[in-house]
Structure 1
Amino acid sequence: MRTVFLLWHSYPREDALDENDTEDKLVGVYSSAAEADAARLRKLRFEGFRDYPDNFQVSEMEIDKDAWSEGFVSSDTRPLIWWFVLALIALVASQVMRLHQHQAASWLLWDYVGRITALTILAAVPSARIAAFRTGGRQISLFEIVLWIVGICLLDRFVQLPQSSLNVAFPTTVLGAYPHPTRWLKAFDLFFGLALVAISEEVIFRRYIRLAFRPYLGDGIFAVLTTSVLFGAIHWWAGLGNVLSTATVGLFLMLMLRRSGVLWPVALAHYLLDLINFA
């Protein structure tokens, strides 16, 4: 296996709407990382490059291996938004059905059905599947991931008190409650059910929604706030306190996704904080 090293230079466009709208130049292809770095030093003498000296990047590529093996998401994301709406309908429909269930088993069954249906909708459409399930490289260390997870779990503990207080202050906003399964059903839900919750919500409300709405919201703080509000709103049935607390935690989960570049640490954080709450 032989690899080459690509030296890129990127800088923001003058009319850029967000930090991802950049002018990218391929400077050259080199046989080693050292050669690529030597080329970077040479380019620093020239106009343009010396104005943005920290904007060089080196990427490694294997020869005779296809890139973009999973395809790409078009800049026209309107179809992605419609598939998001359809997945959202599946989730809300299952929530409405849950409100009429009086047994833990039937409540959980409708919950699982709604989440699996929503994920199936996104998986069935090629463009939506790429946006929802594409993989990427981790951008931060495992140690930093642990710090993020610990911090988010502590934040979730911190918002529990105002969450309960708001639900007590506005009881009419609480339309339902989580079930209390026992024995084998509780064990099954703690492992399978909570994992399904974490995966479905992180795929839909973090990775997918970020890509689908990026042309309209950008990828800055406005997008983080908007997607966090949507994440909180999907918990509409659990009371105003739950809506606000999940929106707050969702904001930091989105920041973690932006920082880490991959979804699995975010889903793991989500699973662990749910496990702490329901175990």
Structure 2
Amino acid sequence: MRIHPTALIDPKAVLDSTVEVGAYSIIGPDVEIGAGTKIGPHVVIDGHTRIGAGNTFFQFSSIGAAPQDKKYAGEPTRLEIGDRNVIREFCTFNIGTAQDVGVTRLGNDNWMMAYVHLAHDCQVGNHTIFANNAQLAGHVQVGDWAIMGGFSNVHQFCKIGAHAMVGMSTSLTQDVPPFVMLSGNPAAAHGINVEGLKRRGYSREQITAIRHAYKLIYKSGLTMEQAKAALQAEEASVAAGCVPALVLMREFLENTSRGIVR
């Protein structure tokens, strides 16, 4: 039996025939769920929510509820979840707001542990890991392969770069550049995520270039403008395979809105 008899599914909801729904779960009228997704018991999925294929939702999660924003007035904003994500117990993912892009997004292949909160208008990429109780305020952006430690929390409008790693119980009020590891309160940078880069196939030459770029930003005494210029100069001198990582770091610095943890 794919749909437990105690589950309440609105007739307007669109579920693939292979979706499984556990006991006492509730699915609202504006929900779409793709093939092979498994909804555990006591899960509530509401709002204008679209969920892709092959996801697993554990018990007691609240998905697609109205944003925790006093300005929200019932606008038909959305939540979009990609494919092959694992969402553990008691996670809360809210829909977006009309004051931003109007949609909260979670990409593909993410591992979201218990009590993770994605507030309105957050944009989370692919292959991320959120440990227990990692919390994002509204409008936060998280790049691919980023790791958020347990009980870490992020101020609204912050950006976490791709491959960054945020330590346990860290509170962030500024942006985290790609590849950087940081922790503490106040947060401080502690090098680059070397082990993670090795696991993802980065070569020694690429890691060396990233480490040097980190030193330009954090260890050279350069101002932010000088560091960006130095990174651009590096792009012309390193091997072609190292250029994309340096461009990623420089463009992140150019587009930071709250300044970086430095």
Q: Normalised by the size of structure 1, how large is the TM-score?
A: 0.24
Identify, as 1 or 2, the structure richer in strand. Answer: 2
Identify, as 1 or 2, the structure richer in helix. Answer: 1
When Rg is computed on C-alpha atoms for both structures, the one with the higher figure is 1
Q: Which structure ranks higher in relative contact order (CA pairs < 8 Å, sequence separation ≥ 6)?
A: 1
